[in-house]
Amino acid sequence: MQLDDTDRALLALLTENARLPVTDLARRLSLARTTVQARIERLEAQGLIAGYTIRRGRALAPPLRATALVSVEARATPALLTRLRDMPEVEQVHTLSGRYDLMIRIAATDTERLDRILDRIGDAPGVRFSESLIQLSTKIDRAP
């Protein structure tokens, strides 16, 4: 999967605005529309472009976000992940190295709901200990 400068420029434009028409992309890159379309299809086929999405504005974002850092007993992670998949408030789960095994990103409508979700996570079989961090504000957001 070799990327050339044109591929990188195309990806940068799509990252900035994935809704740009191929004709606009072609004009900005000084390429033929068919060339840009072929490059996009190749980048998709290679898995370098996994999809296109929207980012919800603040008005649609849940008012409360938190991160739970969780230490899990050996071999208990698969069962915990199954439990977490059934919780719609759980947005992301990452495995970690170090003191904690999982980092769980949670979105909730209010503190009572967040409290119940954190209790469900903390009470899950195999959870040794957890720590929760409530997100107060976002200062930098480079997420796609």
Written as six digits, the tokens of 24 are 């606009």
Helices (H) and strands (E) in the chain, counts: 5, 4
Per-residue pLDDT reduced to its tens digit, 108-126: 999 999 999 999 999 999 9
3-state secondary structure of 80: helix
Percent of the chain at pLDDT exceeding 90 = 82
Residue 105's DSSP bridge partners are 67, 92
pLDDT of residue 48: 93
pLDDT band at 144 (very low <50, low <70, confident <90, very high): low
pLDDT over 70 (residue 18): yes
Mean pLDDT of 81-93: 96
Ramachandran angles phi, psi of 2, nearest 5°: -90, 130
How many alpha carbons fall within 13 Å on the CB side of residue 44?
A: 9
Is the pTM of the predicted complex or chain greater than 0.85? no
Task: Average the pLDDT over each of 14-28, 51-65, 81-95 and give the range with the smallest value.
Answer: 51-65
CA dihedral 80, 64, 137, 134 (to 10 degrees): -50
